[in-house]
Structure formats: structure tokens, C-alpha cells
Amino acid sequence: MPPLNLDKQVSPNRPSSLPHVVILGGGFAGLAAGKALAKYPVKITLIDKENHHLFQPLLYQVATAGLSAADIAQPLRLIFSGQSNLTTLMDEVVDFDLDASKVHLRSKTLSYDYMVIALGVTTGYFGNQQWAQFAPGLKTLDEATELRRRVLTAFERAELANDSNEASQWLTFVVVGGGPTGVELAGAIAELAQHVMAKDFRHIDSTKAEVHLIEAGPRLLSAFPKGQSSYAHKRLTKMGVRVHLNEPVKSVSADEVTLSQSAISSGTILWAAGVEGNSVANNLGQVPRDRAGRLEVNPDLKLPNFDNVFVAGDLAKMSDFKGKQVPCLAPAATQMGRHAAKQIARDLAGRQLKPFIYFDKGNMATIGRSSAVANYRKISINGYFAWVAWLGVHLVFLMGMRNRISVFLNWAWSYLAWRQGARIITKKLIGRSDGINATSSN
């Protein structure tokens, strides 16, 4: 067969003489950078190895069977469908040549006039990468699906268990890390066991499951005011979660977490304790990094010594002019992405660059049904109203009307019916040599 004629009839309105801006990563920072450049005479290429933008703040709900993957993800291509100066490529960054202003992807090499590195962070194990297999983190949709598989399968294994020791191990869940993700995961697993699954088993009593939340520091939610930490602590305890403070993890194996004085035997260990810079950024060469591999950037978000490279989002480590660390939060990433884009526009116009100033929009975390903590500047609210605010804010910032409607209905359903909409176990390994065709409908 002759090859098809696939070229667009209408040649895209992007003469190659326009400056080329390459954005690496389609998270909150990359997305904001791409959008902020919509009206400028530049040619933009946005690279992500996934085909979607992910709304990470709701990822724990996919991991705990409340939402489906598609509810919190939006194809990048669809988001930028109407922005003709931007091309999306689903590809992976392999290496950099900053001196030649080139970035190597798996399929091709791109030259850029400006680059925004917004590759984000991944789960960090403080140098103990071997723990990852036993205690997966929660940064991508695939990891969320894996966590969901592990949590739901644990209850099934407990029901199948031939002795009570084994059942007990499968009904013990450990969440490491007392930040917002850890608090949210622990609360959601406790609710699954206490309510959603309570009537579904014959051999085990799911309400007797134990959920342990392990925090190395002296309090949960260390980024929040102290009163909110103790509110979350009290609330989780009431929901049946056992909170361990001042307990750094000594080691993790397939079925045990060892702390300083004790060990917890558990079939399901989840990691929400640390982050580290995307490892691709290690290929950037001699640039300043902190211990977690995050890139230390100039006040205007430039990578030191490179005039055409900006870093935005979680991968950028910086303190603003008041000396306050910019946190790893979606609003901060969005602000940084937009700032980097605007500096590119200023530079093209021959104007001086401005330093990035972080506008603190506050912080919120949900603990469980009808319970959350939220703060904005000096105002802190706990409980039902914080929870309603949490729901509202997350619905508003979620991308796409279809996803908003779907998430809203799933939440309403869970609230009214005490059920979770996505209690489906999917496989760890699919296709090819898995023999899936041999036994698929047993």
C-alpha cells in the first residue's frame, strides 16, 4: 500500500522564524506556562510522557476506589486543542545539551530558544530505593491504580486466609508519612474498612482492620498551624486510625515496617513520606541541587548560568524575597509556570526580568467524611465547613466540565450511599506473556 497523505491541508500558522519555547512536563506548572504564552508570537512544544494532565490533589481518591482514573485526568491534547501556537508531544526526555540549547527526546532532538523545565518530583525514599517495591508511592495514575489494587486485594486475601494470623496481617494497613497525602490516605482506608465494606465479607469483619499512620516528626500536617495538627490527630484516632508520632521508619520489607522500638506486621504498606526531583534532571550537569535533587533556581526562576532555561513547579527549589520556601503545592506550581512564561515574553521584548513572588493561597487537607482542615493567612477552620470548602475548591480547580460533573456525582453517591464507585481491581501486569487469554474469565 502507498503511504497515506497525512499532512494537514491547512498549513499551521507557525513559521519557523518564531522563537521556539520547549516546555517539559504537563503538570500544573507546564500547563500554566503553555497557557500564559497563548497570545505571544512564539512556537511552543509541550512534552509529557503521559498523554494527560493529572489533578494530583485528588489522586488519593483513585487509590482508595472513590474515583476513576479518567475523572481526574484530562488529555493534554484536548486542553490545548484550540491553542494553535502549541504542539503537544507524548514523548520522554532522555538527555540535555544546555550549551547547545537542545533537548533529546526518545523519538527526536529538539532545539529551543527558551526552555521551561517543569518535570516535577517523584516519591523519595531517603536513599532507600529498595523500599519502593514494598511501599509504593502516589504520584501518578498508574501508582494510584497499583495502590488501589493492593488495598482492595488485601481485604480479599484476608477473606481467603486459612488462619487468623494471616488474616490479621492482611487487615493491617500502614501509611508512612503524616503530611496531607498520608492523612488523606489513612482516613480514606479507615472509612473503606469501617463503612463501605462492612457488610460485604462472610469470614472476616472488615471493621476490625487496623490502619497505622507513621510520622517521623512530632506532629501530623507540619505545614499547618499546630491546632489543626491536633484536630487531625484527634479526628483520625476517632476514626480508628493509630497515629505514631516521632517514629522514623527504620526499614520496610514485604510484610513488615520496622520503627525504632517496634515493628508492624502488614500486608499493605503505602509511602507518602518524601519526594525527590525527577531523576531526568540529574542529566542537567553541574547545576545547584538540594539533597532531594530539586534544582535551586535564581529569584526569576532561571536555572543559574543559563539565560534561556527556567525551572517551575515542584522541581524548582526557591525561597521568595521574604525567605519563605515556596511549597510543593498546585497553586505554587501554577504561579511559577505562569511567571516563567511571562519572563520569556519580557525577555523577547527586551525588558528586564522580575523575581517570582509567591502568593500564598493557604492550605487544606481532608481527613474523612465531613471533616477537613483549611487555612488562609490567619484564618483556620476545621470540620464540616472546611470539608465543604475543600470539596468546592477541588471541584472548581479540576479541569473540564465533564470531570467536574463526574467527580461531583461520585462524591454525592459516596456520601449518600456509603459506597465507593470504583472498587475494581485491575491487573498489575497485562497483555503479552501474562497468559491473560488463557484464563481470562475464570
Residue 269 and residue 174 in contact, taking contact as beta carbons nearer than 8 Å: yes
DSSP H or E stretch at residue 295: strand 295-296
Residues in the chain: 442
Q: Which is nearer to its own copies, 138 or 353 (CB)?
A: 138
DSSP 319: B
Q: Which is nearer to its own copies, 41 or 227 (CB)?
A: 41
Q: Which is nearer to its own copies, 203 or 322 (CB)?
A: 203
Residue 92 beta carbon to its own copies: minimum distance, rounded to whole angstroms: 6
Choice among 92, 156, 166, 184 that is catalytic = 184
Residue 102 beta carbon to its own copies: minimum distance, rounded to whole angstroms: 16
Residue 284 and residue 296 in contact, taking contact as beta carbons nearer than 8 Å: no
How many Å separate Cα 372 from the centre of its chain? 19
Residue 108 beta carbon to its own copies: minimum distance, rounded to whole angstroms: 6
Residue 81 beta carbon to its own copies: minimum distance, rounded to whole angstroms: 5
310 beta partners: 116, 302
Residue 32 and residue 338 in contact, taking contact as beta carbons nearer than 8 Å: yes
d(C-alpha 326, C-alpha 336), whole Å = 10
d(C-alpha 44, C-alpha 84), whole Å = 9
Residue 381 beta carbon to its own copies: minimum distance, rounded to whole angstroms: 31
Residue 385 beta carbon to its own copies: minimum distance, rounded to whole angstroms: 27
The candidate with the shortest Cα–Cα distance to 232, out of 176, 171, 173, 181, is 181
Contacts of 34 (CB under 8 A, 6+ apart): 23, 26, 44, 46, 80, 83, 86, 337, 341
Residue 390 Cα distances to 132, 275, 381, 387, 393, angstroms: 30, 24, 11, 5, 5
Q: Which is nearer to its own copies, 67 or 372 (CB)?
A: 67
Helix (H, G, I), strand (E, B) or coil at 15: coil
Q: Which is nearer to its own copies, 202 or 377 (CB)?
A: 202
Which cell is 134 given?
514494598
Q: Which is nearer to its own copies, 118 or 183 (CB)?
A: 118
d(C-alpha 167, C-alpha 188), whole Å = 21
Residue 230 beta carbon to its own copies: minimum distance, rounded to whole angstroms: 26
Q: Which is nearer to its own copies, 87 or 230 (CB)?
A: 87
Question: Pairing relation of β-strands 371-376 and 363-368?
Answer: antiparallel
Measured from the Cβ of residue 134, the count of other Cβ atoms closer than 10 Å reads 17
Let me know if 184 is a catalytic residue.
Answer: yes
Active centre residues (catalytic): 184
